Structure 1
Amino acid sequence: MTNEPRNKYFDTPLSEWIDRVPSELHADAVGLWQIIGSGNDGFELQGQQLEDFVRRCIVSLLKAGAVPVRPSASLAIFWEKQSYEGDIEEVASAILGEWQRAGTEPNEDGIWFSLFDQYKGRG
């Protein structure tokens, strides 16, 4: 038996939750704001624990083939792919750093993770 945090609503262990995050990609994109919210509210994480949770979720999404996107202002496309350089860990660090530097919680207009081609051209 581990001492791993469990989601207070679903009783899901934290590592299992992280493993399941990419399963949402086949139905919808996953927003950074949603990841932070589930860590903060569902697991009651703060500080370094929340940052570690967010990083692990981002890495899990990127390994599943998701790309960072933002909602497009154009009616011709739904998402705009965001450019980050480096390997998966470096991209996760860059996104985490942006969130930390912003000093505010992201919202629906921020970074999402999408199987990009599935949304291309939708508007």
Structure 2
Amino acid sequence: MILRHRHLERARYLRREATPAERDLWKRLRFRQVSNAKFRRQRPIGRYIVDFVCLEAKLIVEIDGSQHADRVSYDEERTRFLEAIGFRVMRFWNGELLAQPHHVMEQIFTAVSERLRQQRD
């Protein structure tokens, strides 16, 4: 119970302290703007908190800053765990999102559409 409470508190903190890239992406994902899919932000999944997740498509979108260059093995472990429970994890760099938002959104749109179509078939 204590761990879950800490996760929720940390997720709330991360929502309040979002990076400019995270705020920008959230404006583009919220209100079912991508394939009518509902995204959530800073959502606990297992022992991790993911940046953005569409539960119905089982798709996670991570926006990575420069600190992730030093955490490669941690991110790989995290991705393996999330993929093992059925999620697809997409990672984009902050700069990539800020410089080419339409390119990033196109990739997310394609992934959401494919995942939702696979689940219907």
Q: What TM-score results when the alignment is normalised by the length of structure 2?
A: 0.32
Greater helix content: 2
Greater strand content: 2
Q: Which structure ranks higher in relative contact order (CA pairs < 8 Å, sequence separation ≥ 6)?
A: 1
Q: What TM-score results when the alignment is normalised by the length of structure 1?
A: 0.31
